[in-house]
Amino acid sequence: MRDYFYTKFPWQLGKVKLQKPNEIVREMLEDENIVFFGGPEWEGISDDLSTVPRIDRSHFILSLLMVVLTDQCIYTYYKESYPTWRRRTNYPKFGWSGFGPHHENPFKVLWAAEREMIIEPELVINLLPEFVTFYLDETKRFFVETLPHIDYISFVNSIKQDPAFAFDQGQIVQSFKTEFIKQTGMR
């Protein structure tokens, strides 16, 4: 997971179709570089992932969940840290822009891939123990090195207590949540 995330994922993410919002949204979000991918319900996932080799799609989807979930959690619960996060990562936002920004539920990254049969659920589910360990370890490391004022335990609990965590469509989402709770403890 680590090798994929740091070598192939950035390159493959760069090939996903991105949409730059209008000037008003960029000003509203105070971010000239902000871009979105996905759109409502990520209806165009088949086209977006057509450039990601099938063999990498399970890792790609999990890596995408990692960055989207972290981005949205920091934006929502740790606003004072968000500018530092953005400067260091500059990941695209999952959602779309119209008269304002619209952020999709991070778990729809997994659901859309399963719904459109872009991946094989069993392959992703088998990767979840390794992925969740990687996600938690990398998040902790990143916070210590870059955002030391974010308490890691508080961050993890923020994810579990956020309304988005109630989303439960598909086997992969349910399996991810089970593994995440297993590795981090109950709420």
- Mind listing the pLDDT tens digit for each residue in 99-145? 778 889 999 999 999 999 999 999 999 999 999 999 999 999 999 99
Domain membership of residue 20 (yes or no) is: yes
**pLDDT (tens digit per residue) in 8-36:** 999 999 999 888 877 878 777 777 888 88
- Note the pLDDT of residue 47: 94
Give the separation between CA 178 and CA 187, rounded to whole angstroms.
12
Give the separation between CA 40 and CA 184, rounded to whole angstroms.
30
Range of the domain at 92: 2-182
Domain membership of residue 136 (yes or no) is: yes
Count up the domains in the chain and report the number. 1
Residues 6+ away with beta carbon under 8 Å from 159: 69, 73, 165, 180
What is the average pLDDT across 90-107? 88
Domain membership of residue 187 (yes or no) is: no
Domain membership of residue 99 (yes or no) is: yes
What is the average pLDDT across 134-163? 96
